[in-house]
Amino acid sequence: MHRCPKGWLMILIMLGVTLLAAQAVSFLVGPVQIEAGGKGVLSATLTMPADLKQTHDPTAENDYFYLKASHPALIFGQLTYPQPTRVKAEDEWEYHGSVTLTLPFALKPNAAPGNVRITVEMGYNLCYESGMCLPPAMKSGEASLEILAGTAYPNPTDPNEDIDPDRTTASLDSTANVEVMATGATADGPKSPSSKTENPVLRFLLFALIAFVGGIIMNAMPCVLPVLSIRAMSIVRQAQEDKKRILSHSLAYTGGILVAFSILAAVVVILKLAGESVGWGFQFQNIWFNIVLISIIYVFALSLFDVFIINAPGMSGASKSSSRGGIWGSFAGGLIAVPLATACSAPLLGPAIGFAFLQPVWVIPIFFLLIGLGLALPFILLGFIPAVLKVIPKPGEWMNIFKEIMGFVLIGVALWMLHDLYQMTDGDYLFRVLLFLVVVSFAAWLYGQFVRPEYKSFTQWNITVWALAIIVASAMYYLPYKEKVPEPVTVTQDGLFIPAPKAPAGWYQFSPELVNTLIARSEPVFLDFGAVWCKNCKLNETRVLFKPETMDEFKAKGVHLIKGDFSRNDPELQKWMENHGRAGVPFNILYIPGKEPVLFSEIISRAAIQDALALLPDKE
């Protein structure tokens, strides 16, 4: 058998990647109907594999990264390059994910009406992060344009009257910039830390402070409140027995939070180094992660009803009294609080995490730990200022009642997450998960009945092993999941307008091609990126975005409503958010023709929507 020499193998691999990249070039022209003498924009979008990049030297003419077009009826202006995703040097810009080049044009006043086809050519030269580059490639194609009768300029019959290209370029700058904002870095999005007008150290410290404050705000997230309340009551109970233990419990809770965030940061760093596109809350896109978290919350709720008490097998009666609600319970509370808190991007966290994800990977653990310290701050203060506990009533029966109420709250959280899981899978799989939880309930009851001081050590260890075996066996039987092929959707005009599932009529499914087309036509676009597991996303939609009165206001301004579903991993959505300095959902932005886009906070108000819409003229 003949083996392919390594050199030839490398060439074949490079050729294959080059061909693959060549298929990821798309051309758009907008508007698609123009009067003679009118203006438009031609754009080309290059979509790159995750492990490749495109470089550009803004200080010199680039022979390998360009956009050219020709047609006798058109006069083309100056080619526009968007802001880079990263600046390595003054003469070396880098683009990752996708990049759009724009070329403004004007129709000659004497252009004859009718359909024309513009010859377009895009050249590029992709490289690996290691420095090795693929051979230069070129993609050619055609863009269709309809020239309408009439003219936007006086004296249209003079065949010698041409449009000044410089004037044309200047008049189209705003349109071109809007197109760039849709697919690359934006004026609202990531700026390079090497900018001469910004101090990179102060910028880093500012976003670090924002991350810390965002962590504090996370304590107000609905899913985190039950865990915080339970831990607070546990500390109160321990404090009445020994006030010196308040600080140790607070530090244990803080330790659990920091360990959980450290693990999460490590996973993010590993995935990014492997070339994967990840964002805040990415773990909720995994079905198994959701099931594990649902199970932990459900088991935690059962413990609040005293179905079982976490005891080490073989534990004596003396050690039981000291371990119940002990240090490990506070540490576990911190571990559980983190995954619950990361289901959404809280206010202020979006810009901070977006900044961190665009920096070298060593920045990510620092920001995650700062967020963790912010989340733990109330308990840290409680540990160092125990006098605050004087305002809380003394322990009594009310604490047992409160504990059981929190048990019902946690069951409600688990049911909410099961609903999210149903939307990510289907009803049959949800039923299998419910059966699994029934088995988990039995295993927890079995453990609670026999892992107690009155039974021999052998019995306690035997029951513990059996309880774990029952859970593992039922998971292997009930939980395997096979992705189903999505059902076909109804496509409307242009083949791009696909009604968005789980949204009111008038919302359409996100695609870069659709948004680029609309922006190239100078039409306003509102994007809503959310996920079924994102509680803030659902709050924004039910309270503001999906309200009939809000949709009427969008309609009055002629705004196209586009929705992206980030429930499962979607590199296109992730890259789009990163290009605007965000790393997770909720993500909402309004593109306004001729102006900078409006990027909204994670929690949207109707007043904020109305203020943004006021920048648009009424629809004619």
pLDDT (tens digit, 9 = 90+) per residue, 441-461?
999 999 999 888 888 888 889
Q: At what angle do helices 397-424 and 225-241 cross, to 10 degrees?
A: 150
Burial pattern 19-51, b for ≥16 Cβ within 10 A else e, equals eebbeebbbbbbbbebbbbbbbbbbbbbbbbee
CA angle, corner 575, sides to 573 and 576, nearest 5? 65
Fold (topology level) of 6-172: Immunoglobulin-like (2.60.40)
Question: Is residue 389 predicted with pLDDT exceeding 80?
Answer: no
Residue 289's SS3 state is helix
The CA distance from 80 to 176, in Å, is 8
DSSP state of 261: H
Q: What is the mean pLDDT of residues 392-413?
A: 80
The CA distance from 520 to 501, in Å, is 25
The percentage of residues in the chain with a pLDDT greater than 90, rounded to a whole number, is 21
The burial class, CB within 10 Å (0-12 / 13-18 / 19+), for 265 is buried
pLDDT at 63: 65
Instruction: Enumerate the β-bridge partners of residue 117.
Output: 144
Strand boundaries in 57-152, DSSP class E: 66-70, 74-76, 86-89, 92-96, 98-107, 114-124, 126-128, 137-151
Highest mean pLDDT among 93-107, 438-452, 471-485 belongs to: 438-452
Question: Is residue 49 predicted with pLDDT exceeding 90?
Answer: no
Q: pLDDT for 308-360, tens place per residue?
A: 876 666 554 434 433 444 677 788 888 888 887 776 666 677 778 878 877 78
Q: What's the chain's length in residues?
A: 620
Tell me whether the CATH fold assigned to 6-172 matches the one assigned to 493-613: no
The separation between CA 412 and the C-alpha centre of its own chain, rounded to angstroms, equals 26
The mean predicted confidence, pLDDT, of the chain is 77
Q: pLDDT for 225-250, tens place per residue?
A: 666 767 666 666 665 656 667 788 88
Of 79-93, 137-151, 171-185, 484-498, least confident by mean pLDDT is 171-185
Residue type, 70: S
Contacts of 467-475 with CB under 8 Å at 24 or more apart are 467/443, 468/443, 470/439, 470/442, 470/443, 470/446, 471/439, 471/440, 471/443, 474/435, 474/436, 474/439, 474/440, 475/436
Superfamily of domain 493-613: Glutaredoxin (3.40.30.10)
Q: pLDDT for 489-515, tens place per residue?
A: 444 445 578 889 889 999 999 988 888
Q: What is the mean pLDDT of residues 119-131?
A: 83
Would you kindly state where each structural domain of the chain is located, as residue ranges?
6-172, 200-424, 493-613
Question: Is residue 3 predicted with pLDDT exceeding 60?
Answer: no
Contacts of 460 (CB under 8 A, 6+ apart): 311, 313, 314, 315, 450, 451, 452
**Its pTM surpasses 0.75:** no
The percentage of residues in the chain with a pLDDT greater than 70, rounded to a whole number, is 76
